[in-house]
Amino acid sequence: MNTVVQGNPAAHQPPADVVTEGLQPFLHDVCTTLYAPSLVLSRPAGDIAGGPDGFFHGDRRLLSTLSVRVEGVPVLPVSNTMSSADRTAFRAVLRGVGEHTADPAVTLHRVRSVEPGVLREELEIANAGVKEIRVEVVVGAGSDLASMIDVKSGRTSPALPAELDGDALVWRRDEVTVRLRATSGSPRIDAATGELRFEVALAARQSWSTTLECVVTDDEPLRFPAVARDAVPWSPTALRSADHRMDQFFARSVGDLERLLLADPEHPEDQFLAAGSPWFLTLFGRDSLWAARMLLPLGTELAAGTLRTLARRQGITTDARSDEQPGKILHEVRREGLKLNEGPTLPPVYYGTVDATPLWVILLHDAWRWGLDPEQVRDLLPHAEAALEWLATYGDADGDGLLEYIDVSGLGLANQGWKDSGDSIRWRDGRLAEAPIALCEVQAYGYEAAMGGAALLRAFGRPGAERWEEWAERLKRRFRESFWVEDEAGRYPAVALDAAKRPVDSVTSGFGHLLGTGLLDEEESALLAARLAGPELNSGFGLRTLSTDSTGFNPFGYHIGSIWPHDTAIAVHGLARAGFPAEAASLAGGLVAASTTFEGRLPELFAGHGSAVDSVPAPYPASCRPQAWSAASAVALLQAALGLEADVPAATLRFSPRAAEGIGPLDLTGLRVAGAPLSVRLDAAGRIQVEAPDTLTVHGADRAGDASK
């Protein structure tokens, strides 16, 4: 998936004698409040207290500490509530203050909200007792203005001295200025200690409040600015189903996705999804493309913005350092270079990915089928042609008809598929595969991109369709000849071919990416569906990245046994398209069950122990959350359950709800197709009624109010 800083992550608050400098911090216990490109990471009780915690904006940590305490009084947290992605409330009891029975009498309520470049924290002390109270509320704050890269790498930065500027504490370095003030309450401010002190006297039944406001001024323009609240590129959505877990997962996911949106500064109307919080609030080719593809049932605006944003940055030259090549779609864009623990530094604009380029073509094709304006499609076709040329030249550097990758410079990522950690591609006995590597799922992407590209070229009267269809058929033949291996359970495709073109024989979740792409025949699809449904891969909470019978299996391994929600959602969609609804429903049900452990906000990945071992899934401690393609998985699961496929150029809309077990009846509104509203109702008997544009012929469903068709 995303760029991985290698090394064993460190616990957030380890014993004092344990050295954690230089180790990636854990995130499983942080509370995240988000409005990209700003976010706050804090303790569950609300304080920003070291480690990865902080108020961040544009990959810079503005506040490294922020605490609220009451002098001489224990403040005991009792709850936190995430009302939306950008708003979190914390409630605590002031123990022993104003009490005349065993009941708590005085509480502290903190309500945190984030906007781009602004953090606000509303503080309220409420006295529900019968006695007058007097307390001193102390707000402590500090800043180190550390880069996100340093925080992610576990490198500590010295605290900056605070200045007193009028009624605000101020921290400055280079082009960045951070100001923290209270809007009321007349605190005593001590710049030396970074404290604001409030004297609070409350009679019975009274309350006191103030608002802390932290604002950043940064003279360096952001790589990618925020998106206004009223500019979200999809309509308001709502899901009411028989499975309230699915409802929570869907609602939380869509809310998180709204706050992960960023804009292209060259054309602010073009939006895309940042990959994830906290480390990846930026443009990632693969992540942004997959998330936009999963969200096509919500409309084509996000897909169009993502396609254009990446097309403007499509490779035009050959540069070994950045891995740029003509026609190639980039991997990531950052404010500054990313230093990996093992030494090299990736450049701020890095192209080291083998799959973003075919995924770009696939998204353009699918967006066209969902009704993207033909003129917008036409404008992007030269970029599609350049991407297809990259597949046939740089993507297949040795001319064997398959797509492979190698880090030519030796300074970039060793693995350049979505499983891009250094140990992800390995043999069944645990040995690491040697590059150049040809991944199984990338062959499926290449086939789908070539066939989809051919369809686009033919539909728009451009030459080359036959060439790409022939190229795709050659790839299909080469895949069948080269990838298939066999064990005691039968035939299956290897995860990859290594440098010697030997099939690397581990059993992985990559099977799910092959289904429904056209690369496999019916018999091959059935073999993979059975593997995906088996207990070695299907954990009961989703799909493991590596089979439990592999020597390298580790349930906490980043790509070697953990569960990635987007990976499972891709498999669910592929199974449904390939005609295996029971297997699709089983995997989808496991992912929905897992979502409840994370309050509907599925993380980037979680541990792969499985439901036979754990009643709930264990977090992967360093996982990002929220994360774009994990959140977008909620929409992908619903699309698969409904068997929803659009072909606007052919004026058809199809439904086949065979994988909808457990979630019907349901009502789903806020979808869009061909630029018009689409709503779906599935009843308890499995019948579908839709409200859809009259220009489309609907198959497998009735139009609302007309059940006779």
In a domain, 576, yes or no: yes
pLDDT at 149 over 70: yes
Average pLDDT value for the chain? 94
Which of these, 184, 204, 149, lies nearest to 25 by C-alpha position?
A: 149
Residue 213 sits in the same domain as residue 239? no
Alpha carbon distances (Å) from 325 to 30, 211, 319, 351: 39, 51, 7, 8
In angstroms, the Cα distances linking 82 to 129, 255, 289 are: 28, 11, 28
Is 262 found in the same domain as 119?
Answer: no
* Residue 15 included in any domain: no
Task: Give mean pLDDT, residues 86-108.
Answer: 96
Could you tell me if 542 and 446 lie in one domain? yes
Last residue within a domain, chosen from 218, 237, 268: 218
Does 7 have pLDDT greater than 60? no
Residues 257 and 212 occupy one common structural domain: no
Amino acid symbol at 676:
A
pLDDT tops 90 at residue 2: no
Q: Cβ(514)–Cβ(440) under 8 Å? A: yes
Q: How many domains does the chain have?
A: 2
234 and 214 part of one domain: no
DSSP 464-492: THHHHHHHHHHHHHHHHHHTEEEETTEEE
DSSP class of 659:
G
Same structural domain, 207 and 244: no
Same domain, 299 and 441: yes
- Looking at 604, 631, 654, which one is the last position of a domain? 654
CATH number where 588 lies: 1.50.10.10
The answer to the question of residue 696 being in a domain is no
Q: What is the pLDDT of residue 20?
A: 58
Same domain, 556 and 590: yes
pLDDT, tens digit, for every residue of 538-581?
999 999 999 999 999 999 999 999 999 999 999 999 999 999 99
pLDDT at 5 over 60: no
453 and 578 together in one domain: yes
Q: Is the pLDDT of residue 440 over 90?
A: yes
Please return the burial class of 128, using the count of CB atoms within 10 Å of its CB with bins 0-12, 13-18 and 19+.
middle
Mean pLDDT to the nearest integer, 420-437: 95
Evaluate whether residue 387 is within a structural domain: yes
Domain contains 248 = yes
The model's pTM? 0.94
pLDDT band at 17 (very low <50, low <70, confident <90, very high): very low
Full domain range(s) for residue 118: 31-35+38-218
Residue 706 confidence class, pLDDT cut points 50, 70, 90: low
Report pLDDT for 94. 97
CB-facing half-sphere around the CA of 9: CA atoms within 13 A = 21
Contact in structure between 697 and 651 (CB atoms under 8 Å): yes
What confidence tens digit (pLDDT) does each residue in 309-327 have? 999 999 999 999 999 999 9
CB 387 within 8 A of CB 357: yes
- Residue 345: what pLDDT? 77
Within-domain flag for 24? no
Q: Indicate if the pLDDT at residue 4 is higher than 50.
A: no
ω before 503 within 30° of 0 (cis)? no
Place of tokens 């569960």: 563
Residues 201, 246 share a domain: no
- What CATH number should be reported for the domain holding residue 126? 2.70.98.40
pLDDT of 11 strictly over 90 = no
Q: Is 259 exposed, middle or buried (0-12, 13-18, 19+ CB in 10 A)?
A: buried
What is the model's pLDDT at position 485? 98
| Mean pLDDT calculated for residue range 212-227 | 90
3 pLDDT band, cuts 50/70/90, is very low
What's the pLDDT tens digit per position in 23-73? 889 999 999 999 999 999 999 999 999 899 999 999 999 999 999 999 999
The 10s digit of each residue's pLDDT in 631-661 is 999 999 999 999 999 999 999 999 999 998 8
Reduce the DSSP state of residue 235 to 3 states and report it: coil
Residue 686's H or E segment, with its range, is none
Residues 205-210 have a mean pLDDT of 97
Residue 437, by phi and psi: left (phi above 0), alpha (psi -120 to 50) or beta? beta
Dihedral sign for Cα 699, 448, 509, 565, please. Answer: negative
| Residue 14 pLDDT exceeds 60 | no
pLDDT in tens, 366-419: 999 999 999 999 999 999 999 999 999 999 999 999 999 998 888 889 999 999
Q: Does the residue 359 lie in any domain? A: yes
Domain shared by 564 and 496, yes or no: yes
Measure CA of the first residue to CA of the last residue in the chain; give whole Å. 45
The pLDDT of 337-364, averaged and rounded, is: 86
Domain boundary (218, 237, 263) is at 218
CB-CB neighbours of 474 under 10 Å: 16
Q: Which residues contact 102 (CB under 8 A, 6 or more apart)?
A: none
Q: Which helix (H) or strand (E) holds 677?
A: strand 676-682
704: pLDDT strictly greater than 90: no
What residues contact residue 77 under an 8 Å CB cut-off, 6+ apart?
A: 44, 45, 46, 90, 91, 92
Helix (H, G, I), strand (E, B) or coil at 10: strand
Q: Does residue 460 register a pLDDT over 50?
A: yes
Task: Between 341 and 125, name the one with better pLDDT.
Answer: 125
On whether residue 20 sits in a domain, the answer given is no
Confidence band for 19, pLDDT divided at 50, 70 and 90: very low
Mean pLDDT of 279-291: 97
What pLDDT score was predicted for residue 13?
Answer: 43
Check whether residue 161 and residue 267 sit in a common domain: no
Neighbours of 318 (CB within 10 A): 13
The percent of residues in the chain predicted with pLDDT above 90, rounded, is 90
